[in-house]
Structure 1
Amino acid sequence: MSDTPEQVDHSDTRPTQAQAVPERWWWLGFVLKPLVFLVCGTLLFAGLGAMQKLGLLSSGGGHGGPGSAVAASNAEYICPMMCTPPSSQPGRCPVCAMELVVASSGGSNGDSQSIQIGSAARRIANIQTAEATLEPMVRKVRAVGKLQYDEASLKTITAYVGGRLDHLYADFTGVFVKKGEPLAMLYSPDLYSAQVEYLLAQKSVDHASPGVLPSVAQANRNLLQNARQQLLERGMTEAQIIELESQGKADSRLHLNSPMSGTVIQKMAVEGQYVKTSDPIYQLADLSTVWLMLELFPEDAACIGYGEKVEAEVQSHPGKKFTGRVAFIDPNVDERTRTIGVRVALPNVEGLLKVGDFATAFLRIPAAAGPQLRRYDQQLANKWISPRFPNQIFDQPGKCPISNLDLVHATQFGFADQPQEQTQSVSVPRSAVLMAGKNSVAYVETEPGRFEIRRVVLGHQSGGQIAIHDGINPGEKVAIKGNFLIDSQMQLAGNPSLINPDKYVAPKVDEESPEMLAALEKLPLEDKPLATAQQICPVTEMALGSMGTPPKAEVNGRTVFLCCEGCRGSLMKEPEKYLAVLDNKDSGPQPENTPDLPPIGPIQEIPLVPELPPKTVAVPVESDGPTTPSIATPVIQPVEVVR
């Protein structure tokens, strides 16, 4: 096999000089292309700015001219953080220093009283709603107080006669003594002398001879009576005097007995101490009843009365409830704390309540409480109560065993003998109401995604609920979460909001709507003429039937129909005010835009000025010839003076 030499291709594969030149300057094209775009963009923006400056192009989307100037003059500028109310001039917010922005003329749906929020935005803002309910509202007032002694049960044991304390049976503070138990033994020579005089007087009466004169016998009896009175004034009891008579022997030592069952709260003497007449020795207190001293705000104290039930919980017994009743309400307001003192009498039969301990009191007051409403308490139904001690309750009239005052029927203190119909109020969660100063608003979802602003009149708060007297109807859905974001959008849209609610316009009800007529048809036959004649609710001044079947109320002997049950509490609290609304309506329509004029007083007859005769005035008349001052003669002409 012959070997053939391998052929190798030695051709040159390197680029030529003409091909290497473009590849060497490739980076130049990479740099020039962005530079060209940048220059073009700069020229474009410069041209647009020049056209806008020359008036060829406006900043309002090509709609320049006089119309845009008028719109700009009527624009309102608001702070994006809503720190201040809207302003008519541009600038910066004086609070957060942010640039004020122009508020748009309306919401997304063109309604000046509401705003439309889509489902996606609603989920992002976490907007939640709750239904307004009609239910009895009960105010829960919480107050903190301190336990004190019942001042009516305090007793001071004093020395009726001067002497020496030989022995103290109650030898320390806090000891409990029963009525009649000895407290101390007193040595007194004066008492011994008084006992001797009494025994001698008794002996002279008992051993008087039959032939003694009647006057002498009567004098002996008077002497015995005076000696007996001297013993009583020196501290001896009837039982001790009887014992003295039976023994017939005077004793210089006297036992001081306790006049009541109670606790020694103060010991003011020691054994062996000499005391004078009226010197204090002990102070006793009956702890079967203690006082709880509370401080309430005036608006809370105005809703409670004598005998109101109070539940208290003390620190020493957490979880255990002690029930008492209001015994006294201070008629004055403390100028320092602006509160009213309320005293509660708490029974302490078990002795668990300690004087000086702090207690938390809870009062349940109807939200519509007032002088026209009676409270029902089962323990006071058809009962008689002491006017000073509310825990003294009896089935029959009589005398109070403590104060000896006549018992009073519980109805005179505002209590009812029968269960009363509970007044219902419209209530919403507390988070549904936005408050700023005196302004209170809420947002009602009238349609899916449509939130309408409502100015509301608030009542009392109970737990997490708050009563609504006006502005929201039962069954309406209110925003309870995300309502602040809704209010922000309302302000940015130039609509009424919490910070600027003056644009709010209350919705009007069609007086001839079929729903309203159907609601009035549900009334009894005897009530239809009265409701038709009344026409409006005196509280809200809304048409009857606009919120369902009108409820009926009796106040001051007059039948009144309301738009809803939520107005009953306001009517009962201020009946004269709302009855005047109906009376003014019945008096006839008043002309609109009439300036306030002062009232016309009684017509008085003004005497006419008597007509005066024409007055003559002397007017000199010059003569044609020469005159001489000394011989000039004036001519008198009559001239009538007009008055």
Structure 2
Amino acid sequence: MNRNIRIIRIAAATVIAGAALLVVIHYRVGLAKWVLAGSVERSSDVHAAHTTAPAEKQILYYYDAMSPEHHYDKPGKSPDGMDLVPQYADEDAGMENMPAGTVRLSQSKQQLIGVQTTVVQREKLFRTIRAVGQLTADETKLAHVHLKVSGWIEQVYVDYVGKLVKKGEPLFTIYSPDLVATEQEYLIARRGKQNLGNSGFPEVAQGADALLRAARERLRLWDISDDQIKKLDETGEVTRTLTFYSPIDGFVLDRKAFPQTNVTPDMELYTMADLSTIWATAEIYEFEVPYVRVGQQAQMQLSYFPGKKYSGRVTYIYPTVDPQTRTIKVRLEFRNSDFELKPQMFSDVMLNIDYGNQVVVPQGAVLDSGERQTVFVALPDGYFEPREIKTGAKVDEKVIVLSGLKPGETIVSSGNFLIDSESRLSSAMSGMKH
């Protein structure tokens, strides 16, 4: 009895196990069919998408962006694990006749990187160069008073620095033994001329005349004026002291003439300056020099006299550059009839530069590598061409274009750095493909 029960239980367990096994097998087969069906469905979707793409854009091949020289027939991943990129036929066709580095950006991508454009124009440009000027006396109107004989100053008429004197005004009197002796020689020669001028011997008369001329010339060489010599002729007497006069109209800048002082020819007794015109020396940067010329008009203002402008002109451009400041000195000349302008004053100098009618672009549109300057010209259908240009002076926020662009062309004014990166990548990839 017990044995029969055991057999029945074993048989039941076997049936249950078999049924369970059949259920598991059936489940797995169904699952496999479901997965396979889903896979086939997705595969058909992918295939459908792949087959419809050429209707819009014909794919020539696929390539690895890191190794564009390697081409593949179908999408997927490269041996390096990179997603393959499609190369479309219309892209190659559109780029065939484009300059090297030209890129094409969709409208959405242009908006994404913030591309802005501007039209190249021709404008009349002006600019003002501002510099600090230091006033100095006109060096061509300076006078340095020296004697050509030794002696002693007895009386001084111009006795302080800063005095304004007129040409011919007495400066001082001097006693000089050499001058007294020369006067005596002159009077003797004059009397000899009078006594021997009517001699029956021509040689004697000519000799007396020659001595008189030589004595007169010696007085002149020692800066004795014709009026003083005339007075000597009239009086016939030696003058113990002689007076020296101012050679110019001007101010006394320095004085070393004092009463009872022994003086020699190497001493500078007065330094005088005619300040009716005055110089201003300004320093400008070397890149500004090409736009400054002799004769160019300039203006000047003084801090102590705001609102008043003085008009002058450039008279000289110095030939050397200061190695520390990289500046060049420019000399300007101003009228100073009322003597408001004084040496050693500081001033604000303004040089107006007229560049004329020039082709200009915004400074931000130019990519300057140091060796060359490049802009991106916007072409139809989203193409951007890199073009090398030659630039000139920068005026405010604009730069003059000397060559490479024409008025009316459209260039990129913002976002050009990102376009430049795209252009460099495109050029590199194009070179690797070929």
Instruction: Flag the structure with more relative contact order, 1 or 2, with Cα contacts below 8 A and sequence separation at least 6.
Output: 2
Distance 1:71 1:477, change over 3 A: closer
Q: Is the 8 A contact 2:377 2:411 kept in 1?
A: yes
Structure 2 counterpart of 1:463 = 396
The partner residue of 1:313 within 300, 307, 317 is 300
Distance 1:447 1:308, change over 3 A: farther
Structure 2 counterpart of 1:134 = 122
Q: Is the 8 A contact 2:105 2:383 kept in 1?
A: yes
How far did 1:180 drift? 0.8
Q: Are residue 490 (structure 1) and residue 419 (structure 2) matched?
A: yes
Structure 1 counterpart of 2:64 = 70
Q: Normalised by the size of structure 1, how large is the TM-score?
A: 0.45
Distance 1:471 1:194, change over 3 A: closer
The partner residue of 1:429 within 353, 357, 362 is 362
Residue identity over aligned pairs, in percent, reads 30
Q: Are residue 115 (structure 1) and residue 105 (structure 2) matched?
A: yes
> Higher helix proportion, which one?
2
Q: Is the 8 A contact 2:68 2:429 kept in 1?
A: no
> Higher strand proportion, which one?
2
Letter in 1 for 2:138: D
Q: Is the 8 A contact 1:312 1:359 kept in 2?
A: no
Structure 2 counterpart of 1:376 = none
C-alpha separation between the residues in 2 aligned to 1:282 and 1:219?
A: 40
How far did 1:318 drift? 4.8
Structure 1 counterpart of 2:177 = 189
How far did 1:284 drift? 1.8
How far did 1:130 drift? 4.3
C-alpha separation between the residues in 1 aligned to 2:185 and 2:299?
A: 57
The partner residue of 2:229 within 235, 238, 241 is 241
2:64 match: secondary structure: helix
Letter in 1 for 2:103: Q
Structure 2 counterpart of 1:393 = none
Letter in 1 for 2:163: V
C-alpha separation between the residues in 2 aligned to 1:489 and 1:435?
A: 14
The partner residue of 2:408 within 468, 475, 492 is 475
Structure 1 counterpart of 2:189 = 201
2:183 match: secondary structure: helix
How far did 1:257 drift? 0.4
C-alpha separation between the residues in 2 aligned to 1:459 and 1:501?
A: 30
After TM superposition, the structure 1 = structure 2 runs for residues 175-324 of structure 1, keeping only pairs within 5 Å, are: 175-206=163-194, 213-302=201-290, 304-305=292-293, 307-316=294-303, 317-324=305-312
How far did 1:228 drift? 1.7
1:284 match: secondary structure: strand
C-alpha separation between the residues in 1 aligned to 2:429 and 2:402?
A: 18
Letter in 1 for 2:363: R
Provide Cα deviations, 1:482-504, integer angstroms capped at 9, x if missing partner: x1xx245436xx6127xx79679
1:179 match: secondary structure: coil
Q: Is the 8 A contact 2:155 2:259 kept in 1?
A: yes
C-alpha separation between the residues in 2 aligned to 1:222 and 1:209?
A: 11
Provide Cα deviations, 1:594-618, integer angstroms capped at 9, x if missing partner: xxxxxxxxxxxxxxxxxxxxxxxxx
2:402 match: secondary structure: strand
Q: Is the 8 A contact 1:154 1:285 kept in 2?
A: yes
2:422 match: secondary structure: coil
Q: Are residue 452 (structure 1) and residue 384 (structure 2) matched?
A: yes
C-alpha separation between the residues in 2 aligned to 1:136 and 1:504?
A: 43
Aligned length: 346
Provide Cα deviations, 1:426-447, integer angstroms capped at 9, x if missing partner: 2123344343434544455557
Distance 1:437 1:319, change over 3 A: farther
After TM superposition, the structure 1 = structure 2 runs for residues 29-108 of structure 1, keeping only pairs within 5 Å, are: 70-74=64-68
1:249 match: secondary structure: coil
C-alpha separation between the residues in 2 aligned to 1:502 and 1:262?
A: 73
How far did 1:331 drift? 4.5
Provide Cα deviations, 1:389-422, integer angstroms capped at 9, x if missing partner: xxxxxxxxxxxxxxxxxxxxxxxxxxxxxxxxx6
Letter in 2 for 1:315: L
Q: Is the 8 A contact 1:454 1:471 kept in 2?
A: no
Distance 1:132 1:162, change over 3 A: same
Q: Are residue 353 (structure 1) and residue 341 (structure 2) matched?
A: yes
Provide Cα deviations, 1:197-221, integer angstroms capped at 9, x if missing partner: 3233323434569566544433332
After TM superposition, the structure 1 = structure 2 runs for residues 506-517 of structure 1, keeping only pairs within 5 Å, are: none
C-alpha separation between the residues in 2 aligned to 1:157 and 1:477?
A: 69
Distance 1:170 1:437, change over 3 A: same
Distance 1:223 1:490, change over 3 A: closer
* Unaligned stretches of 5+ residues in structure 2: 1-49, 51-60, 70-79, 96-101
Distance 1:464 1:330, change over 3 A: same
Q: Normalised by the size of structure 2, how large is the TM-score?
A: 0.64
Q: Is the 8 A contact 1:144 1:361 kept in 2?
A: yes
C-alpha separation between the residues in 2 aligned to 1:333 and 1:463?
A: 25
How far did 1:178 drift? 1.5
C-alpha separation between the residues in 2 aligned to 1:323 and 1:209?
A: 62
C-alpha separation between the residues in 2 aligned to 1:149 and 1:230?
A: 34
After TM superposition, the structure 1 = structure 2 runs for residues 13-32 of structure 1, keeping only pairs within 5 Å, are: none
C-alpha separation between the residues in 2 aligned to 1:221 and 1:501?
A: 101
Letter in 2 for 1:427: V
After TM superposition, the structure 1 = structure 2 runs for residues 346-385 of structure 1, keeping only pairs within 5 Å, are: 346-365=334-353, 367=355
How far did 1:281 drift? 0.4
1:174 match: secondary structure: coil
Letter in 2 for 1:452: F
How far did 1:128 drift? 6.0
How far did 1:253 drift? 1.7
Distance 1:73 1:432, change over 3 A: closer
* Unaligned stretches of 5+ residues in structure 1: 1-62, 76-89, 91-101, 368-421, 506-643
Letter in 2 for 1:70: D
How far did 1:72 drift? 4.5
Distance 1:271 1:446, change over 3 A: farther
C-alpha separation between the residues in 2 aligned to 1:182 and 1:504?
A: 90
C-alpha separation between the residues in 1 aligned to 2:195 and 2:311?
A: 62
Distance 1:258 1:198, change over 3 A: same
How far did 1:451 drift? 8.0
Q: Is the 8 A contact 1:197 1:227 kept in 2?
A: yes
